[in-house]
């Protein structure tokens, strides 16, 4: 099946907590191992359109790579590879009990600051293509 799944939304500011998480050694190493890149400090936040919520809910139920901490003070997080034009990244879905955003906000990590790489500002529209599990 070659049906591409996409999410469309607008770029929004986050809560400024992801930079710490994305720079942890175990996050950096596991992202390199599982995604092929070390994440830039922080995430790009995308407020998805209402019709995309079922897509995220379905993705959340699927089996995906996970970032697994060795320290129990941190949670696991699913990572779903995506492409944003020529940039590659991943949606990161923290364990439900620690999510700081509502179900309409999707966090995306990448090796570069996506706002700069894609020339984006808050309020700009963006579509991401979700790479299917192989």
CATH of the domain at 23: 2.40.30.30
Look at residue 56 and tell me whether its pLDDT is greater than 60.
yes
- Neighbouring residues of 7: CB distance < 8 A, sequence distance ≥ 6: 46, 48, 52, 55, 56, 91, 106, 127, 128, 130
Cβ pair 91, 31 in contact under 8 A: no
| Counted domains in the chain | 1
Mean pLDDT confidence for 55-77: 84
Mean pLDDT confidence for 96-104: 58
Give the whole-angstrom CA distance, residue 66 versus residue 2: 24
Neighbours of 107 (CB within 10 A): 23
Q: Residue 16's pLDDT is what?
A: 64
Neighbours of 103 (CB within 10 A): 11
Cβ pair 35, 65 in contact under 8 A: yes
Mean pLDDT confidence for 100-126: 89
Look at residue 38 and tell me whether its pLDDT is greater than 80.
yes
- ∠ CA 96-11-49, rounded to 5°: 65
Task: Place 1 in a pLDDT band, splitting at 50, 70 and 90.
Answer: very low
pLDDT, mean over the chain: 85
Neighbours of 122 (CB within 10 A): 11
Q: Residue 116's pLDDT is what?
A: 94
Task: Place 44 in a pLDDT band, splitting at 50, 70 and 90.
Answer: very high
Look at residue 70 and tell me whether its pLDDT is greater than 80.
yes
Look at residue 97 and tell me whether its pLDDT is greater than 60.
no
And the tokens for 101? 């955003």
Look at residue 29 and tell me whether its pLDDT is greater than 50.
yes
Question: Which domain, by its residues, includes 102?
Answer: 5-130
């Amino acid at each position: 099946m070659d049906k591409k799944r996409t999410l469309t939304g607008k770029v929004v500011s986050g809560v400024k907590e992801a930079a710490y998480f994305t720079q942890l050694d175990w996050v950096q190493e596991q992202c390199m191992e599982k995604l092929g890149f070390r994440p830039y400090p922080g995430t790009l936040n995308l407020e998805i359109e209402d019709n995309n919520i079922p897509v995220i809910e379905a993705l959340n139920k699927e089996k995906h790579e996970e970032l697994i901490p060795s320290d129990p003070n941190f949670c696991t997080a699913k990572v779903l590879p995506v492409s944003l034009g020529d940039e590659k990244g991943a949606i990161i879905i923290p364990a439900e009990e620690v999510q700081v955003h509502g179900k309409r906000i999707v966090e995306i990590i990448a090796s570069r600051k996506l706002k700069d790489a894609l020339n984006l500002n808050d309020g700009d529209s963006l579509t991401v293509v979700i790479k299917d599990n192989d």
